[in-house]
Amino acid sequence: MKTKEAFRCSACGAQSPRWKGQCSSCKEWNTLEPVTVSKRTSTPVGAAASQDRPRPLEDLTTENLNSRTSGMPSLDDLLGTGLVPGAAILLGGEPGIGKSTLLLQLAGSQARLGHTAVYLSGEESLPQLKARAERLDLLGPGLMALSTNKVEDALAILSEPEPPELLIVDSVQTLVSPMAEGIPGSVSQVRAVSAELVEKTKKTGTTLILVGHVTKDGQIAGPKLLEHMVDTVLYIEGDRKHFSRILRVLKNRFGPSDELVVFTMKEKGLEVVEDPATFFLGTRDPSLSGTAMAMAVDGQRPFAVEVQALVSKSFLSIPRRTALGFDTNRLNLLLAVLEKRLRLNLSGHDIYAKITGGLATRDPGLDLAVISAVLSSFYDQPLPESSVYWGEIDLNGQIRPVAAHDIRLKQSKRLGHDPACHSGTCPTLADLQRFLFGKRN
């Protein structure tokens, strides 16, 4: 065992990895004293060898891996097989997006089904958790909670004779392990805390859900190793100014990794949108110029969304280009193709484009809808009312087919719309311009 230096409060016994003038636990001044603690390392030379030996896979039983329902059918479909005993799930998302609300609802659903669920929070006190659970109508005998910042408390729960079937840690960046140096949330602490929890849950069969903070770039904070250590990585996204939330699967060892669920924020928490095909479409007026309905596909789900564009004369030396809901660089690329292939002078115009409803997607099939909406605003002519658009635009101005064409077409016909122009009838942007507006470049 190697040793390291730490500091312990002589008044309350709290431990800190570095010296401070004031103890963070009891608020006493000048009470931290240096102590020597052991640090776990690899097995020393000459130590007893492990008794584990390779075993034939065909002789193993998988009865302990039978999944159970989460109490939320849409979440079961998202995970593929529901909650698997011993599985580790990582949930990321921006602050205030609804991570804690969703997981508290999941814990409440497990308690109502007769399973034991423990919600461990390092950010909220127990009275705060009870108030939120009471507001969401989730209080019940099987729902337990613990407020702590020590990973030893979580390991103690998993070491009980009857460990809980679900353990939620909110969040992994708030826990601290004495086996690692650094402050809570540092790379070393996050790695150590996650490794200890995942290793313990694999042995006990408890389903573990870790909440991870995100950086300003939208990536899950901490080492990238954290995503490799868990079995499933979920990400909840959405605009906090809108009521919609999207839960995506980024990695899944027990099911598909390209599924998503759409939620809407209500007074009683997050509710699943059963038919999200037209949820983001809202109420639109197709008689206005600059609007186009697109059939986007995210994962295996088709969404009818409205793409709006505004082309107005600019009085700036450098015209503005703004995109909401998709990549601004892609908008600049499409506008450059328009100027080159259709010989349009857009250098003196400000151009704004957005996807309504708060949906953000990187579907390349939106190219055709964005181009059509920009042309509609530029000519100030509305597009055909029953038209729907999807297709990718290459640098030569060709309209290329995109993935999931049959899914888009089937959903469009179900909603009573027909594709106005596709790669078969309008292979180029010039054909699209002539088809929609009767103009030739």
Annotated binding site for ATP: 93-100
In the block, tokens 């799930």 appear at 89
Would you report the helix, strand and coil content of the chain in percent, each value rounded to 5? 30, 30, 45
Closest listed residue to residue 122, CA positions, set 203, 242, 245, 213: 213
78 phi-psi bin (left φ>0, alpha ψ -120 to 50, beta other): alpha
Separation between Cα atoms, residue 440 and residue 432, nearest integer Å: 10
Helices 367-379 and 328-342, interaxial angle, to 10°? 60
- Number of other CB atoms surrounding residue 159 within 10 Å: 12
The C-alpha atoms of residue 39 and residue 214 are separated, in whole angstroms, by: 29
DSSP label at residue 59? G
- Cβ atoms of 208 and 151 within 8 Å: the answer is no
DSSP state of 356: G
Find the distance separating the first CA and the last CA of the chain, reported in whole Å. 78
Edge-first strand listing for the sheet containing 244-252: 143-147, 117-121, 166-170, 207-212, 88-93, 232-237, 244-252, 260-266, 269-272
Q: Binding site, residues? A: 93-100
Count Cβ neighbours within 10 Å for each residue of 293-330 and write b for 16 or more, e otherwise.
bbbbbbbebbbbbbbbbbbeeeeeeebebebebbeeeb
Closest CA to 203 of 64, 49, 53: 64
> For residues 345 and 303, what is the distance between their CA atoms, to the nearest angstrom?
33
Give the residue among 265, 340, 247 at the shortest CA–CA distance from 301. 247
Give all strands (DSSP E) within 126-165, no chain letters.
143-147
The amino acid at residue 102 is L
For helices 99-112 and 126-135, angle between their N-to-C axes, nearest 10 degrees: 70
The C-alpha angle 15, 21, 23, rounded to 5 degrees, equals: 40
